[in-house]
Structure 1
């Protein structure tokens, strides 16, 4: 059983809700922030690349990209290797909203920790850092260890 009771997920969800509420004037939804984040970290990514990362259909990705371009958060440029394709790039406006989002999220997490003693905070942050890097390294390995582990559970996660 999950000893965390998915509390990490639940806290992250509350942080997203707070961030969305504070930054509502940007005109961006949570999924649009994720698109911008992906484009910022993968300059020149294609719409097909976004489709693969997010598991969406082509038309949904095209609509979202067109909407973000219209709002001034991304630019679509012709792909020099594919006459029909477009490469996506974040604009300065996207970088500005990213910085605002980071500040709001940081404020939320510091607020959560304000009642935690110095010793508790130190232990918590040490463990959190270790868990974060385990997660990040597994993602960088394309979740190969987890997929193998899940396969050994004989489809335990299937609906």
Structure 2
């Protein structure tokens, strides 16, 4: 049972909705922001690499890149290793977007934590650090433990299905 009642997800969704609303006013949609942040963290990446890592369609990514370039958030350079592809880089304006997004998130979290005392905020931060570290370690190893639990759950569900069908078919 999830004792958090998905509260971490709900808080993250609230922050994301607020941030996306403000970013849209700056002319960058959520999908474009994902692409821009990836390019910012991986300067010199290619369209193919971007699509593979973000698991997005090449056509959609190409449109987002063109839009971001038109808006001045990124630039392309010829790839010296492969004349057919281009290397992608965030511009100064693109770098500033990350700072803007981070600032918006900080504002939201500061507001969110106002009802808590300093001691409560510090305890929450300490507990979140433990959970975040566990999440990071699992993600770095490509989610083996969570995947295993999911597969076990799927197996149990599949084993129960034939019995359920038999009972209904009698």
TM-score (norm 2): 0.83
Hey, which of these two has a bigger chunk of helix by percent?
Answer: 2
Shift in Å at residue 65 of structure 1? Answer: 1.0
Question: Which one has the largest radius of gyration?
Answer: 2
SS in 2 for 1:45: coil
Name the structure 2 match of 1:150: 150
> Aligned-residue CA RMSD in angstroms?
2.0
The CA deviation string for residues 31-79 of structure 1, in whole angstroms up to 9 with x for no partner, is 2111111111111111112211222211111111111111111112222
Structure number with the bigger relative contact order (C-alpha 8 A, sep ≥ 6) is 1
Alignment of 1:100-119 (within 5 A): 100-119=100-119
The CA deviation string for residues 95-115 of structure 1, in whole angstroms up to 9 with x for no partner, is 112111111110000100000
Name the structure 2 match of 1:16: 16
Runs of 4+ in 1 over 6 A off after TM superposition: none
SS in 1 for 2:89: strand
Alignment of 1:1-159 (within 5 A): 1-155=1-155
Long gaps (5+) in structure 2 = 159-170
Hey, which of these two has a bigger chunk of strand by percent?
Answer: 1
Long gaps (5+) in structure 1 = none
- Give the whole-Å Cα distance in 1 for the aligned partners of 2:157 and 2:110: 35
